[in-house]
């Protein structure tokens, strides 16, 4: 078995542990919870980046220019996700986001659910990349393409960026 396939259950357990260890977005604990979520997103993007670089290297060796270029596009998007997580409005430990202390219990629950969904989307993206990296070892239904992976990562990125609207109280889902 490839190390990437063995790592998947560990990653899923990591997300579960992060979600259950959530302190919630209460006043005074907001930055701690926020940093944990953003740190997990950055860790996942780094992991996916490593997998994609291996796929890209194989594509280069096999002369598959199309796959190599698709990998490059996905890597650029992943870097954007990582940058978004690092530079989020709540990212600076010295700044205080105005909305952080104003979240109601209902708002706290919504942002926790939103962040958990974002993390689950990142897990799905990791699984797709692992399925491309090690075909047959990761069970995924249907055919997987790099453009499908790119679309899912872009959706996860957009979903993560929506969290600022929750914090600002602009979205009442």
- Return per-residue pLDDT of the chain as tens, 173 residues: 455 555 556 555 565 555 554 555 555 566 677 788 889 999 999 999 999 999 999 999 999 999 999 999 999 999 999 998 888 655 444 445 444 446 677 777 788 888 899 999 999 999 999 988 887 766 666 678 899 999 999 999 999 988 877 776 655 54
Predicted pLDDT of residue 42 = 93
Backbone CA torsion sign across 159, 31, 37, 42: positive
- Centroid of chain to Cα 91: 16
- Burial of residue 62 (CB within 10 Å: 0-12, 13-18, 19+) is exposed
Predicted pLDDT of residue 53 = 95
Query: Is residue 69 a contact partner of residue 150, using CB atoms and an 8 Å limit?
Result: no
Predicted pLDDT of residue 139 = 66
Predicted pLDDT of residue 162 = 87
Predicted pLDDT of residue 2 = 54
Predicted pLDDT of residue 51 = 94
The structure tokens listed for 45 are: 């993007």
Predicted pLDDT of residue 11 = 57
Predicted pLDDT of residue 13 = 59
């Amino acid at each position: 078995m490839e190390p990437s396939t063995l790592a998947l259950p560990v990653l899923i357990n990591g997300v579960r542990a992060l979600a259950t260890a959530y302190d919630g977005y209460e006043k005074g604990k907001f930055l701690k919870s926020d940093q944990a979520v953003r740190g997990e997103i950055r860790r996942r993007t780094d992991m996916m980046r490593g997998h994609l670089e291996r796929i890209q290297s194989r594509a280069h060796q096999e002369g598959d220019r199309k796959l190599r270029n698709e990998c490059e596009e996905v890597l650029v998007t992943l870097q954007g996700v990582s940058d978004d997580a690092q530079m989020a409005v709540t990212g600076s430990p010295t700044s205080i986001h105005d909305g952080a202390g104003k979240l109601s219990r209902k708002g706290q629950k919504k942002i926790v659910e939103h962040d958990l969904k974002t993390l689950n989307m990142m897990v799905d993206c990791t699984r797709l990349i692992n399925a491309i990296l090690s075909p047959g070892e990761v069970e995924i239904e249907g055919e997987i393409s790099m453009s499908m992976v790119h679309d899912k990562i872009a959706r996860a990125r957009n979903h993560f960026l929506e969290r600022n609207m929750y914090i600002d109280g602009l979205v009442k889902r």
